[in-house]
């Protein structure tokens, strides 16, 4: 197999950026869990609420793609790099499912996605440079936050919106597996100040992309 040059890697990363940020470019390998569920008769207020939730989750998946790409780029152990790439592949499904649900609701994605992508890629690359155990620790802590965040949305969804519920439930299951993968691979527990900073940034992201 030919060794990839620096130019090859740069082109590959640029292609992945476009696939993540361009509307409709993400293609899921698994069918959407919403496929077998009928559309609910949501009120205008309920549609706005669900659209806000899904816009937040879509941006979260944009951030996940960037985070895993940055970490895979700087990971030192081949197995860790492979695990990051596999997790990123599964997150593409989430990205596509969120986009599909937003389309069904007639709602746009967040205009802030490029900003959050860049920030998440930089954080992922820095975490990888700090060492694999810290990079994995960052994944574990991030996925724990994401699971709690998804559970909050599941608790607040209109009871009859089974399409959105099916998507978020599968995402929750996948994210929990990603967290366990990181722990099993030797994740270090992040210092409390780092976890607190992550929590603040998560609140900034969710608070802005719900509306913008």
Q: Is 149 annotated as a binding residue?
A: no
**Among the ranges given (19-23, 107-111, 152-156, 167-171), the one the predictor scored with the smallest mean pLDDT:** 19-23
Domain count, the chain: 1
pLDDT at position 3: 61
Each residue's pLDDT tens digit, 115-148: 999 898 888 888 888 888 888 898 899 899 999 9
Nearest to 202 by CA among 135, 87, 123: 123
DSSP state of 99: H
Q: Is residue 31 part of a domain?
A: no
Q: Is 58 annotated as a binding residue?
A: no
Measured CA distances, 19 to 22, 23, 77, 95 (Å): 6, 8, 26, 10
Q: What distance in Å separates the CA atoms of residue 128 and residue 114, rounded to the nearest whole number?
A: 21
| Model confidence at 92: pLDDT above 70 | yes
Q: Is 153 annotated as a binding residue?
A: no
Q: Is residue 19 part of a domain?
A: no
Q: Is residue 23 part of a domain?
A: no
DSSP state of 35: G
| Model confidence at 10: pLDDT above 80 | no
Sorting pLDDT into bands at 50, 70 and 90, what band is 66? confident
Q: Is residue 32 part of a domain?
A: no
Domain of residue 106, residue span: 42-209
Q: Is 172 annotated as a binding residue?
A: no
Q: What distance in Å separates the CA atoms of residue 43 and residue 46, rounded to the nearest whole number?
A: 5
Q: Is residue 99 part of a domain?
A: yes
Looking up residue 184, the CATH number of its domain turns out to be: 1.20.1260.10
Instruction: Taking the CA atoms of 176, 21, 50 and 124 in sequence, report the sign of the dihedral they define.
Output: positive
Sorting pLDDT into bands at 50, 70 and 90, what band is 14? low
Q: Is residue 139 part of a domain?
A: yes
Sorting pLDDT into bands at 50, 70 and 90, what band is 8? low
Q: Is 178 annotated as a binding residue?
A: yes
| Model confidence at 164: pLDDT above 60 | yes
Measured CA distances, 163 to 95, 104, 113, 119 (Å): 15, 10, 24, 31
Given a contact cutoff of 8 angstroms between Cβ atoms, the answer to whether 50 and 158 are in contact is yes
Q: Is 104 annotated as a binding residue?
A: no
| Model confidence at 167: pLDDT above 90 | yes
Q: Is 202 exposed, middle or buried (0-12, 13-18, 19+ CB in 10 A)?
A: middle
Q: What distance in Å separates the CA atoms of residue 181 and residue 112, rounded to the nearest whole number?
A: 29
Q: Is residue 9 part of a domain?
A: no
Q: Is residue 4 part of a domain?
A: no
pLDDT at position 128: 80
């Amino acid at each position: 197999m030919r060794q990839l040059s620096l130019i090859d890697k740069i082109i590959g990363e640029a292609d992945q950026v476009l696939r993540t940020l361009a509307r409709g470019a993400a293609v899921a390998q698994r069918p959407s869990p919403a496929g077998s569920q009928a559309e609910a008769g949501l009120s205008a207020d309920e549609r706005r609420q669900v659209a806000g939730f899904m816009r937040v989750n879509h941006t979260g998946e944009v951030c996940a793609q960037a985070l895993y790409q940055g970490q895979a780029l700087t990971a030192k152990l081949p197995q860790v790099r492979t695990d990051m790439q596999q997790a990123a592949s599964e997150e593409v499904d989430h990205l596509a499912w969120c986009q599909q649900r937003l389309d069904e609701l007639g709602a746009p994605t967040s205009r802030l996605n490029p900003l959050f992508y860049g920030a998440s890629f930089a954080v992922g690359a820095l975490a990888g440079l700090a060492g694999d155990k810290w990079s994995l620790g960052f994944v574990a802590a991030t996925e724990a936050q994401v699971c709690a965040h998804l559970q909050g949305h599941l608790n607040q969804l209109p009871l009859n919106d089974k399409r959105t519920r099916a998507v978020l439930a599968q995402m929750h299951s996948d994210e929990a597996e990603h967290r366990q993968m990181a722990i099993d691979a030797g994740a270090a527990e992040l210092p409390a100040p780092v976890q607190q900073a992550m929590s603040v940034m998560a609140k900034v992201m969710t608070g802005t992309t719900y509306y913008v």
